[in-house]
Structure 1
Amino acid sequence: MTDRSPEVPGNSGAVVLARDAYLRSLLETVPDAMIVIDARGTILSFSAAAERMFGFREDEVLGENVSMLMPSPDRERHDGYIGHYLGTGERKIIGVGRVTTARHRDGGTFPIDLHVGEARIDDERVFTGFIRDLTERQETELKLHNLQSELAHVSRVTAMGTLATSIAHELNQPLTAIANYVEAARDLLVAPDAATLEIVREALDECATQSVRAGQIVRRLRDFIARGESERRVESLARVVNEAIALALVAAGERAVEVELALDSAADKVLIDRIQIQQVILNLVRNALEAMTASPVRQLRISSRPEAGFVAVTVEDSGPGLAEDVATQLFQPFVSTKTAGMGLGLSICHTIVNGHGGRIWAGASVLGGTAFHFTLIDAGDNDG
């Protein structure tokens, strides 16, 4: 940018100082934390917002490696990340951004939204990280999400009670009729003759009619439940995934985890009920985090790819994997690998995904743990 400041003889030093003070005042008012590092990972600048976010003063971190602000395993791998980028030019964060975790001075971890830019000063490469703490926002969303879930649960229980009463009333009539006809036919067959057998046939015909009626009642109920009240729209898969991950990381507490997103930008638009699909991702991510509790390396990877009119989403972890006896009945209700689990989470995921016209399945992950895959309708051509 061209400097249009008037030249003042003998005053260049004052102009530079004034400009530096002006830039410093701007940086101190930016709400997001800003950290500048060189190609070796050394911290060159640490904004006032970064001081508040991480609990360090700038003079305590200048000259230190930025990995001090990261939990394991990113702390140990960060220099390798930079070296990989400098050697290959492959961008995993730079210019892309991702939701990950950071480490506070007190050792606690918190979820952040990280965006990194690159620049050159003379012949030196520098990287500027803009960091937003997601804790407060996501804790609020988590509380609202949990409140919505509780209200929905109460609503479902109330509705189920009403439905159960209605079903009992509706089914009681054909079942009573069937019982009466069967008892009459049994009594008539004690001493059967031609006329009696004809009456028995009529009774059995009526049993069949009432059985069909009972089946229709059950089918109407099933259709009512299957239709639900979801509202599907064209949504950005990247947005849905990022919000769900942040919610899950808040719930994860201090369990540091390396999160990698590999979402295909060409398959970003999907036709979904956003809340329901976020619930699917949230359940799968929480399961992955719990599975990795005792793992020395905690890696979570979420990827997507186009697949013949659908978008396939994969959530995989570096946990111990699934036991073979559980894998065969994974999506059935009341099957759980947790001692205190109800075994409904994956069953609900299965119901939601099927209701969206997709499918869900599990397999082994290249990270060493489990990979859950599910498909959603690709709405890329319907975005107008």
Structure 2
Amino acid sequence: MTLAQTGLAVPDNRLLFVVSVVVVASVVLFAAGVIVTLLRRSDRQRAEEEKLAAMGTATARILHQIKNPLQTIVLHADLLQNERMVADPLQRREVAEAIIGESQRLVAMLDELSVYASGAQRAMNRQPMELHQLVRQVAGYESGGTGMRVDVSRVSPAVVLADPYYVRQALDNLVRNAAEAMAAQDDARLAISVDREGGTAVVRVSDNGPGIAPEKLDQIFQPFVSTKGKGMGLGLAICREIAEAHAGRLEVESALGEGTTFTLRIPLYGDGVSTGALPGLAPEPHSAGAAWS
């Protein structure tokens, strides 16, 4: 007996083909969805692992930097319990100065962390300012007691719309980093120049220090990375943030045995030369800036 004789409809081959295609497509789409979900989950897990690893590195560096001054404070505080030590005014003063110095160092570290943590929330008070005058102030401040020769012979007028306080912090840090890099040199020389290139003010801070290894150049702007044995390693990360907050950028060039040049670029204001009525210049360096590294 055939299907026709039973009264049942004979399936259309084309309908079977369409149904088969739909079933196969559904299976493929379902499998693709599962794969995409797994890949996204894997990416999220990898991102979380990288984030946790970065947090672990940052926490370890913070704890290491804070532990050293704390140990010094505890050690010297313990010395003050010695009656003979307390009876000697000179020794008592030395111990007290050590405790105060390390306490101030801790405060500076916490200030630095606070500045970095503020990040994008940092409030900018932009105003027309004579960048060249600010550079001369910073150069005079740094050369005053360091014995380092500072050349500011190539400082041209450049007016920018910027927050004097934060620009000063960035310049202070760049100059101080250079001074620390050349601390062991008898022929330490620092050159700070200001130029106008197109619509941009360009500040170059160049030293004749030991330079930075090529493999470390890509890392120095990362937070908690430092080429020095002390400091949080946040200074250059903050400097770059300040530059970018002013629609500018911070660059570095270095050669081992020859020195390093940091270049800060900020858009000029107006014609780049005049400001009209100029507000007061930048304030003195912030306490946290002195501890940047």
Q: TM-score, normalised on structure 2? A: 0.51
Q: Which residue of 2 aligns with 1:353?
A: 243
SS at match of 2:152: strand
Tell me which moved more, 304-313 or 363-372.
Answer: 363-372
User: Do residues 315 (structure 1) and 205 (structure 2) align?
Assistant: yes
Q: Which has the higher contact order (CA 8 A, sep 6+)?
A: 2
Q: Name the amino acid aligned to 1:231.
A: N
Report the alpha carbon displacement of residue 235 of structure 1 after superposing the two structures with TM.
0.8
Determine the C-alpha separation between the residues in 1 that align with 2:255 and 2:160.
24
1:273 to 163, 182, 190: 163
Deviation for aligned residue 1:264: 4.2
Letter in structure 2 aligned against 1:294: A
Alignment of 1:39-118 (within 5 A): none
Separation (CA, whole Å) in 1 of partners of 2:229 and 2:159? 38
Deviation of 1:268 (Å): 1.9
Any runs of at least 4 consecutive aligned residues in structure 1 with deviations exceeding 4 A, and if so which? 149-152
Identical amino acids, percent of aligned pairs: 36
Q: Which has the higher helix share?
A: 2
RMSD: 3.2
Match of 1:153 among 111, 128, 140: 111
Asked if the contact 1:288–1:317 (Cα under 8 Å) also holds between the matched residues in 2, the reply is yes
TM-superposed deviation, 1:291: 0.7
Query: Structure 1 residue aligned with 2:153, among 262, 275, 295?
Result: 262
CA 322–373 in structure 1, closer or farther in 2 if over 3 Å, else same = same
Answer yes or no: is the 8 Å Cα contact 2:167–2:242 preserved in 1: yes
1:287 paired to 2:177? yes
Contact 1:303 / 1:314 at 8 angstroms: preserved in 2? yes
Q: Give deviations 1:167-195, integer Å, cap 9, x for gaps.
A: xxxxxxxxxxxxxxxxxxxxxxxxxxxxx
Residue 241 of structure 1 and its aligned partner are, at CA, apart by: 1.0
The alignment partner of 2:225 has SS state of coil
Aligned twin of 1:226: 120
Cross-structure match for 1:383: 275
The letter for the 1-side match of 2:187 is V
Does the Cα contact within 8 Å between 2:139 and 2:152 map onto a contact in 1? no
Q: Does 1:243 align with 2:243?
A: no
Write the letter of the residue equivalent to 2:182.
Answer: M
Q: CA deviation at 1:343?
A: 0.6
Give the structure 1 partner of residue 229 of structure 2: 339
Give the structure 2 partner of residue 17 of structure 1. none
CA shift, 1:372, in A, is 0.3
CA shift, 1:379, in A, is 1.3
Asked if the contact 2:119/2:241 (under 8 Å) is kept, the reply is: no
**Any stretches of 5+ residues in structure 2 without a counterpart?**
1-103, 277-293
Distance 1:155 1:354, change over 3 A: closer
**C-alpha distance 379-156 of structure 1, shift in aligned 2 (>3 A):** same
Structure 1, unaligned runs of 5 or more: 1-145, 161-223
In 1, Cα distance between equivalents of 2:112 and 2:256 = 40
How far is 1:152 from its partner?
9.3
CA contact (8 A) 1:316 1:367 kept: no
Q: Quote the Cα distance in structure 2 between the aligned partners of 1:154 and 1:372.
A: 21
1:183-233 deviation line (CA, Å, top 9, x unaligned): xxxxxxxxxxxxxxxxxxxxxxxxxxxxxxxxxxxxxxxxx9525311011
**In 2: Cα distance, 1:283 partner to 1:261 partner:** 17
- Give the distance between the partners of 2:257 and 2:201, measured in 1 at CA: 22
- Are residues 258 and 295 of structure 1, via their aligned partners in 2, closer, same or farther at CA, if it must alter by over 3 Å? same
Say whether residues 1:301 and 2:195 are aligned partners: no
1:252-283 residue CA offsets vs partner (Å, 9 max, x unmatched): x4x42111013443x42111110111111110
What one-letter code is carried by the residue in structure 2 that aligns with 1:256? G
User: TM (normalized to structure 1)?
Assistant: 0.40
Question: Does the CA-based 8 Å contact 1:268-1:380 persist in structure 2?
Answer: no
* Change in 2 beyond 3 A, CA 1:305/1:363: same
Residue 246 of structure 1 and its aligned partner are, at CA, apart by: 3.2
In 2, Cα distance between equivalents of 1:358 and 1:154: 22
- The secondary structure found in structure 2 opposite 1:262 is coil
Task: Report how far residue 293 of structure 1 moved.
Answer: 1.2
Give the CA deviation at 1:156.
3.8
1:242 deviates by 2.0
1: CA distance, partners of 2:260 / 2:113: 34
